[in-house]
Chain A
Amino acid sequence: MKCIALFASLLLLTGCSGNWGWYVVDPTTPKGIINLKFMLSGMYYTILLSVTAISISVIVGLLVALPGLSEKKGWRRFNRTYVEIVRAVPILVLILWVYYGLPALSGITLNVFWAGVLALALSDSAFQAEIFRGGIQSIARGQYEAAKSVSLNYHDTMRYVILPQAIRRILPALGNQLVYMLKMSSLVSVIGMQELTRKANELSVSEYRPLEIYTVLVLEYLVLILVVSAFVRRLERKMQASEA
């Protein structure tokens, strides 16, 4: 939080030099308040988009990770192929392809929100799959053997023994992925999603004050991500405490 204060005071100082037109986002003027409200209203979709996308990518990631741990070669190959292909496509390209390409290919037209969710989730699922695979692999073989010794089947072994331990271990990585997702969601602005970045773009076009407006945008992301990081760290600490 200190660095935000520092950053803000730096801006104010330079803002006084006269080159900056802070009036566009000055909260003491009615115009400034309207503009700020307009920019902040993008927060809703930035968060909704990211949280929806990551919820889906965690599930897809887990479903892709499990065959990657199989003893059967075919399953493992499916996992590798999925991960390699999805990771190779830039997110922006994936967003454009899902929004403009997919309807032509499948006849399914997605609105901007769901196209964004699908593209972000798809892209992130490859990383989630790798995170889950690593987390599950880090659980000692003795845990599987103990589960077998009390006759648990595969589903129960995963559900009650392996995944609860794996998830505790990968929580920091999942937190990173959420932060990453919040940032990547800005790319969905290109197809017209009314999230933070798109709002800033639109305002800057009408106000001709890109420097000030994008500076506010930087601050918006900074605050959002610092808050989310702090929240994730608290969750981690709580989980560790409950285990001790």
Chain B
Amino acid sequence: MTNDNAPMIEPVIKMREVSKFYGDFRALKAVNLDVAQGERMVICGPSGSGKSTLIRCINRLEAHESGQINVNGVELTDDSASHDKIRGAVGMVFQQFNLFPHLTVLENLTLGPRRVLGLSDKEADERAMTYLERVRIPDQADKFPRQLSGGQQQRVAIARALCMESKILLFDEPTSALDPEMIAEVLDVMTELASSGMTMIVVTHEMGFARKVADTMVFMDQGEIVEIGPPDQVFTAPKSQRFATFLKQILQH
């Protein structure tokens, strides 16, 4: 399922000529992107190239100025009803985890299911424990986020997103804030998720992960998608000089 041989079914995310400005600065320049149901997409690119902006436009953490974004059949407009619908279909994992520090791990996970999905306390707890087991930290349920390591906190954040059982998961550099020895435990969890059929868009510079799980590799630079294709294709024969240079740089480090 790649962008080149267009999927038969309607894409679950469709971006058309999407532009985003911060003041006069154009962070996204008429971006076009399709993501199919179940597709695993990895986005890379130099810092400031617009990767975060792109995925944050998908769940309306940022508002785009022009172009169309259609998520799960809903067009994103200024109408907040469309934001609510889309956020219900899209979960997100942040670079800085953004856990709720005053709540226990379990409470972090159950807040959304209880308040938004209307689950009973018991149902929400059961669901939370299921996903905590999935990210392999069921024993930390009653701790506060600050009592956990960075890797554990990020796994809690992933479990929190999973608890909403949304169709699409966005990851914004989920391992960039982690100490090196904790990166693997988070990537392992994500790799496992990838094999479960979840639609995932992951901004990361972890090329090993990209090779292993990505259906589609996207390279962004200066607010544009410069290169897009299956990883074995774009890694072995990058079409653009910019991507080739970028690859050389990050593989050196």
* Residues on the B chain within 8 Å of A164, using CB: 102
Whether the Cβ atoms of B102 and A145 lie closer than 8 Å is no
Rounded to whole Å, the gap between the CB of B158 and the closest CB of chain A is 12
Whether the Cβ atoms of B99 and A146 lie closer than 8 Å is yes
* Residues on the A chain within 8 Å of B94, using CB: 142, 145-146, 149
Whether the Cβ atoms of A146 and B61 lie closer than 8 Å is no
* Residues on the B chain within 8 Å of A105, using CB: none
CB within 8 A of A149: which of B91, B96, B102, B144?
Answer: B91
Total contacts A-B at CB 8 Å: 65
CB within 8 A of B84: which of A151, A161, A168?
Answer: A151
* Residues on the A chain within 8 Å of B99, using CB: 146
A84 within 8 A of B: no
Whether the Cβ atoms of B111 and A151 lie closer than 8 Å is no
- A123-160 interface with B by 8 A CB criterion: 140, 142-143, 145-146, 148-153, 156, 160
Contact digits for B56-80, partner A, Cβ 8 Å, 1 yes 0 no: 0001110000000000000000000
Q: Once the chains are docked, how many angstroms separate the CA of A212 from the CA of B60?
A: 68
**With A149-B87, A151-B88 as given contacts, are A143 and B98 in contact (CB-CB < 8 Å)?**
yes
Q: Smallest CB-CB separation from B93: which chain A residue?
A: A149
Rounded to whole Å, the gap between the CB of B81 and the closest CB of chain A is 12
Whether the Cβ atoms of A152 and B59 lie closer than 8 Å is no
Whether the Cβ atoms of A151 and B116 lie closer than 8 Å is yes
Q: Smallest CB-CB separation from B113: which chain A residue?
A: A150
Q: Smallest CB-CB separation from B88: which chain A residue?
A: A151
Q: Once the chains are docked, how many angstroms separate the CA of A108 from the CA of B112?
A: 46
* Residues on the B chain within 8 Å of A244, using CB: 144, 146
Q: How many residues of A contact B (CB 8 A)?
A: 19
Contact digits for A160-173, partner B, Cβ 8 Å, 1 yes 0 no: 11001100100000
Q: Smallest CB-CB separation from B172: which chain A residue?
A: A145
Q: Smallest CB-CB separation from B89: which chain A residue?
A: A151
Whether the Cβ atoms of B100 and A161 lie closer than 8 Å is yes
B101 within 8 A of A: yes
Q: Once the chains are docked, how many angstroms separate the CA of A145 from the CA of B172?
A: 12
* Residues on the A chain within 8 Å of B101, using CB: 165, 243
B161 within 8 A of A: yes
Contact digits for B129-152, partner A, Cβ 8 Å, 1 yes 0 no: 000000000000000101000000
Q: Once the chains are docked, how many angstroms separate the CA of A142 from the CA of B91?
A: 14
Q: Smallest CB-CB separation from A150: which chain B residue?
A: B112
Whether the Cβ atoms of B98 and A142 lie closer than 8 Å is yes
Q: Smallest CB-CB separation from A155: which chain B residue?
A: B115
* Residues on the A chain within 8 Å of B161, using CB: 149-150
Q: Smallest CB-CB separation from A145: which chain B residue?
A: B61
B105 within 8 A of A: no
B15 within 8 A of A: no
* Residues on the B chain within 8 Å of A148, using CB: 59-61, 87
A-B contact pairs, 5 of them (CB 8 A): A143-B98, A149-B94, A152-B115, A165-B100, A165-B101
Per CB-CB distance, the 9 closest pairs between chain A and chain B, nearest first, are: A150-B112, A146-B98, A142-B98, A149-B92, A151-B116, A151-B87, A156-B115, A164-B102, A165-B102
Report A's interface with B, CB cutoff 8 A. Answer: 140, 142-143, 145-146, 148-153, 156, 160-161, 164-165, 168, 243-244
Known: A148-B60, A151-B112, A244-B144. 20 other contacts (CB 8 A): A140-B98, A142-B94, A142-B96, A143-B100, A145-B92, A146-B94, A146-B160, A148-B61, A149-B61, A149-B90, A149-B161, A150-B116, A150-B163, A151-B116, A151-B164, A152-B112, A161-B111, A243-B102, A243-B144, A244-B146
